[in-house]
Amino acid sequence: MELEMEDQNVEEVETIDTLDRDPSTEFPLRESRLYRTRFPGAVRQKAYRFDGVGGYYNKEWDLTEGSGREFNWYHVELPRGNQKLSVLAQYLIDVLCPPLKLQDILSLVTNGPFCGHVDGAFVFRVNSPGPGSSNFTLRIAARVTENSLITVSLGRVPRLGFSPTGQSLLSEIPSVESPSSRRKDEELENGGAIVIREHVLEFLLTMNHSEEADNPVPKTTANLVVHVIDTHMDHLQDIVTKLEMELDSVEIELDKGGFALKKQMLDDRRFPKMHLNIQRLLQVIAHGEQVFPRVKEKCTTKSWFASEDIVSLEELVGRLRRLKENVGFIANRVTAIQAGLDSWQAEQINRKLYYLSFLSIIFLPLSIITGVFGMNVGGVPWTEQKNPKLKDGFLNVMLICVITLFLVFLCFMFPTVYVYISSWRRRRALKRSWSLNRKSFLRRTMGVPERGGYLRI
């Protein structure tokens, strides 16, 4: 009985506490529930704090700005896939909505080029349309303030992050291990050398720079903006380098390959797909040509943007233009290879048509013979085969056939005969004029007596 009474007293105290509790104390709990993450793990988030003297630290995702010389960087990596823009906008709203507004978030995720001020912050983006699963669909957007930077990218961008510089791979002489070469484990253990796989070496050749190594830590927000644009340019350069290597390997395969390889490339539509990817890459470069010069112009008006950073942005713009020319050369190479394959396919079709024409030539006399001997000339008009005096109905039909063939032959031969006669008359006129000019030249130079008659004018 005593235990039951104590339990009732405890329940009464709890109900009284809940009734007397101030509703303002519950507001933080409601606020935390309201802004709870709806898509946990959908995007990858990185947050850094820079001290302004060359050091950086990982920090919490609170979207606060730095103070003094310190500045913060918040980066969001959208997943690569065939999601709609509305889904990507939901992801950004989930992680950026407080304190960013809807207008700020939509300016970061919308497709197309943009450069301007949104809600007091400087915003620029280079977002290319297309399927997100494609490696040639690139998106980078940034919201810049004096002590804060928020960037959004599609997938992982190489060299965008920071890591301490490790020991160089070339500090020792490396050995490349190819799949064809077989080495014993004892030799590798005794040698103690660095072993590089062949496919790893090919991957490193496609990279314009080392992977997340030897990146200078920015000391100002302007340095960080230049670093973001520089890594975007490096990413484009890596894609172009990979395309060039792929084209080189394809040309070698075409030189060595035969009918089966060329037929497979035509069936797979390899070069039209490559040409489409190049057009997407050119669209990304065109967006950069529209945005980055405007970024340089607007950054010149910022007091916290140094002149060295302006010069770096100008160099990046020139590098982008040179990259566009290089992509144009690659597109011409792809077009030339596709034209070669199309001519090869046309040659194969012509060869098959030649075989069919040869077979038709073989069977044409047989069809003529069977047609001649299968004719029933008894019902042919005006032959009058019933009249014993006129029994030449078959000869009349054959004569008509011969005359018809002769007329058809003349119709086909008339252009050739006309061209031949015209050329013969032209040659004759030129020869005659040359002989007359030669005689007049001899009369003027050697004093040959002139003959009577008319002179050629």
Q: What is the pLDDT of residue 213?
A: 47
Whether the predicted pLDDT of 297 surpasses 50? yes
Q: What is the pLDDT of residue 285?
A: 92
Whether the predicted pLDDT of 403 surpasses 60? yes
Q: d(Cα 454, Cα 457) in Å, to the nearest integer?
A: 9
Q: What are the pLDDT digits (tens) for 141-187?
A: 999 998 999 999 998 888 887 765 544 444 445 555 555 554 544 44
Q: What are the pLDDT digits (tens) for 343-366?
A: 888 888 888 888 888 777 777 777
Instruction: State the sign of the Cα–Cα–Cα–Cα dihedral 384, 386, 392, 395.
Output: positive
Binning pLDDT at 50, 70 and 90, where does residue 322 land?
very high
Q: Greater confidence, 408 or 303?
A: 303
Whether the predicted pLDDT of 209 surpasses 50? yes
Binning pLDDT at 50, 70 and 90, where does residue 426 land?
confident
Do residues 320 and 288 make contact, with C-beta atoms less than 8 angstroms apart? Answer: yes
For the chain, the average pLDDT equals 76
Lowest mean pLDDT among 49-63, 143-157, 287-301, 396-410: 396-410
What's the whole-model pTM score? Answer: 0.66
Do residues 109 and 123 make contact, with C-beta atoms less than 8 angstroms apart? Answer: no
Q: What are the pLDDT digits (tens) for 217-256?
A: 888 899 999 999 998 998 898 889 888 888 888 888 888 7
